[in-house]
A and B are shown apart, each in its own frame.
Chain A
Amino acid sequence: MRSPFLKIVQLYWQNMGFRLLFLALVLSAAVSKIAYHIGFLVYAEEFFNLMFVVMLWLAFHLGIVIKRQFAQYQSSVFPRYRLYHLAGMVCVYLIVIGLSVLWGQGMILDLPWLPHQSMAGVWGSCLLASLIVIGVGYFSTGRVVLYGYCLLLVLSAFGAQITDIYREFPFLVFVPFCFWAAGLVFFLWRLSHLNEESFEYPYLLSWPPQASSGWQGRPAGAKDPCFEKAVRPCSGRKYFECATVWCRIRHWKNSDGEGPKLIWSMAWAVLAIYVLTFFEVSWMSDWLKNVYGNFLIFVVTPLVLVTVSYYKRLIFWGYDVVRPVSRSRYMKDHIVSVCLEAFWYWVLTVLVLGVVPSLVFYVDALAWPQFWGFFVLSGSLLFLTLAVVVSMVASESTVSFIVNAGLLSGIVAVLFGVSAEMTVQSYILCCWACLASGLIFIKRGYHAWCEKEYV
């Protein structure tokens, strides 16, 4: 009989998402190494960056897989379950994440334009980032996902400055290591004590969302503030009395939980950025001033907000569709609602992180057509991204999901690279292309959702 330890390691490998992401990690690492050896140093760095992004996705997925192994009754009932699973988890984590970070260090050390001193600090920071992302996947609550996003957003903006700090103050290289080690110990302790009373117990991300076991934490839920706050009271108006789609959307909102309130999580991050800028913390004001460098933020932030709030609802769609509302109308309502919500979040993000800083730092820029073209492009790309997400979420296939996500990331990366240097004509062309292809994806997604079965 094979040891339970090996069977646990096999659990990770049997997970299709894990396998595909691991493959992407190995491939991007190999390509970056080959590019380095044949002298294409710029491409080597590009693929190294890709490898780092894939590593973060893998870490997020790892967090989800780990949670599913511990947030269930077997972890409390089976003898030595936690011991074997903790050992398996640490091994997988160190082998997959640790090795890729080591590889990355080897790459960075040899790139001539990057600082060579104190690369151990960079390595420690990467490990720490991976642990934070695992934690985001593990906790799986909307709030933690958003806090994690905010944290990584801020961290990613200061990659170069962090490296400079390690160069200037080499003794600081131990700091990320200490945080990482402390975080790992805390994580192991948390996993060894996780039970139904723990606040994070009920939150399980799953793919597809309907496969989630639903609500599984009665005692934990009773303590979680997310479930204590009142939601919007039912207006008393009947659904069939709603003549317009806007009215129908408001009706569905009657059953909303914490979703819309998640915006406040972002508000704290924005407030922090503003305060730091106000006190002239140079990095922060540089970051806020660099509006064109924040293209991804304008696309990703509304997407994260809207996805987090809708993911939770999906679990209950199987029960909602038996209400006297045709599937086509039900899906139309929700697709319009998702798009509208994303639009408002986008307007808010653009205002707060784009228009207001420009008003303060470069008021002349507001008169340039390119300035507005840049933002409209980010909105069009957000629409396309959302449309692809709507379409691919309906498919339920992990492979199709990852392929679509990969293609989408490619499009976003290309547009990100050129977004700040385009002419007005190219902005218009790209916007039309994004909107037209977005409409095609939305239509495809709508039909797929209408024909979807709820098992």
Chain B
Amino acid sequence: MNVPIIECRDVKKAFGKKEILSGLSLDIPKGSVFGLLGKNGAGKTTLIKLLVGLLKPDAGALSVLGEMPWRFSDEAKERFGYVPQREKLYPWLTVRQLIDYAGSFYRHWNEGLVDELVRQWRLNNHEKIGVLSEGEAQKVAIILALAHEPELLILDEPVASLDPLARREFLKTILHSVADRQCTVFFSTHITSDLERVADHVALINESRVSFCGELDDLKERVKRIRLPGQKLSPGQLQMDGVLACEETQGGLVLTVYDHRGEVIQSFHNRFGQGVQVEHLNLEEIFLEMSR
């Protein structure tokens, strides 16, 4: 579980003068379900394209499945599956033709799984890709990524176009893959509730860097909301390390804190005594507070 399957060290990438990733470092443990969160333009898709070898890093070291992605061997490519954010599938092929075409590149191709997913997601084998809806095409792209039962799945917002039913089925399939085959899943998404449901690790990208990378439970444990009822202090008087946000409300002060070692909350307890109320936050709230 602790062996990293993906390692990034000080990875930099710019398009022209615009720096997308500036010294990003990240370790993704084998067997984990790893969620990547970040605002639009934070560099999630760029990072994913670097990980699958579509882009070349300007600086830094990248290792995926023990290889440099830009120079992936055929064997390494057999071991991962990828679903792009905007799938580019040949519109003139039928679903079955495309599956057969993609399958012909892999030594291992689970036809049973393909048939099951095609049936489960109500896809028509004889329909042209060009006439499928965005969601249906996304389902096909997901099937293509799962069918060779890869060790590593890299998914760029895979569920954005799926309906709730397909999303649930997809998440279930992912969980099964992890449970049955110790598959590692790395995916970016904006749907934090899905991420909360399946991910055990999470990374937040903020301003071209990783602002948090670790276990999801750990993140939830560290970021808390503190209410100080009846306090009339100005937010400026509470500026200290670990305070992410401070807001004045009618009932008093509301703070969001990033408490690395439990010291911040302790200091509030020491200062304000029993009046301090500590609340847990869900992932969406944490993301919003840490992305400010």
Chain A positions near chain B (C-beta within 8 angstroms):
202, 214-215, 217-218, 221-222, 226-228, 231, 233-234, 236-240, 251, 254-255, 257-258, 315-316, 318-319, 321-326, 451, 453-455
Contacts and interface: CB of A to CB of B under 8 A. Distances in A.
Interface stretch (B75-83, B168-176, B224-232, B236-244): B75-83
A324 to B, nearest CB: 4
A324 B75 contact: yes
Q: Closest 3 CB pairs between A and B?
A: A257-B92, A324-B77, A234-B100
Contacts of B78: 324
A254 B90 CA distance: 11
A202 B130 CA distance: 10
Of A234, A237, A240, A322, most B-chain CB atoms within 10 Å: A322
B97 A233 contact: yes
Interface string B99-114: 0111011110000000
Interface string B113-128: 0000000000000001
B74 A325 contact: yes
B123 to A, nearest CB: 15
* Residues of A contacting B: mostly: loop
B91 A326 contact: no
Contacts of A453: 54-56
Given A315-B88, A455-B55, A239 B97 contact: no
A203 to B, nearest CB: 11
Contact of A237 (B72, B104, B106): B104
A381 to B, nearest CB: 33
A249 to B, nearest CB: 14
Contacts of A324: 74-75, 77-78, 105-106
A455 B91 CA distance: 20
Contacts of B86: 214
15 contacts: A214-B88, A215-B130, A222-B131, A227-B128, A231-B93, A237-B104, A239-B104, A254-B101, A255-B93, A257-B91, A323-B77, A323-B105, A325-B74, A454-B49, A455-B15
Given A231-B93, A236-B100, A451-B56, A319 B88 contact: yes
Contacts of B89: 316, 319
A324 B144 CA distance: 13
A226 B131 CA distance: 13
B91 A227 contact: yes
Given A316-B90, A322-B82, A453-B55, A227 B97 contact: no
B130 A231 contact: no
B73 interface: yes
Contacts of A326: 72-74
B254 interface: no
Interface of B: 15, 49, 52-56, 72-75, 77-78, 82, 84, 86-93, 97-98, 100-102, 104-107, 128, 130-133
Contacts, number: 107
A202 B56 CA distance: 31
A453 B105 CA distance: 22
Given A215-B91, A221-B128, A323-B77, A254 B54 contact: no
Nearest to A252: B101
Contacts of A318: 54, 84, 88
Nearest to A324: B77
Of A237, A255, A257, most B-chain CB atoms within 10 Å: A255
A240 B106 CA distance: 8
Contacts of A325: 74, 77, 105
A231 B92 contact: yes
A215 B89 CA distance: 9
Contacts of B77: 322-325
Contacts of B54: 318, 321-322, 453-455
B229 to A, nearest CB: 49
Nearest to B127: A222
A319 B104 contact: no
Given A237-B104, A324-B75, A455 B90 contact: no
A221 B130 contact: yes
Of B53, B77, B78, B130, most A-chain CB atoms within 10 Å: B130
Contacts of B84: 318-319
B104 A234 contact: yes
B56 A218 contact: no
A217 B100 CA distance: 24
Of B54, B91, B100, most A-chain CB atoms within 10 Å: B91
A234 B125 CA distance: 14
Contact of A234 (B53, B55, B97): B97
B88 A238 contact: no
Contacts of B92: 226-227, 231, 257-258
Given A215-B130, A234-B101, A324-B106, A221 B91 contact: yes
A319 to B, nearest CB: 5
A377 to B, nearest CB: 37
A217 B73 CA distance: 36
Contact of A255 (B52, B101, B107, B132): B101
A451 B91 CA distance: 27
Nearest to A215: B91
Contacts of B90: 255, 257, 316
A208 to B, nearest CB: 14
A292 to B, nearest CB: 40
Contacts of A316: 88-90
A454 B93 CA distance: 22
A231 B97 contact: yes
Contact of B53 (A202, A222, A319, A322): A322
A315 B84 CA distance: 14
A262 to B, nearest CB: 13
Contacts of B130: 202, 215, 217-218, 221-222, 227
Contacts of B128: 221-222, 227-228
A307 B186 CA distance: 38
Nearest to A229: B92
A222 B54 CA distance: 31
B100 A322 contact: no
B102 A323 contact: yes
A215 B128 CA distance: 12
Contacts of B56: 451, 453
Contacts of B88: 214-215, 315-316, 318-319
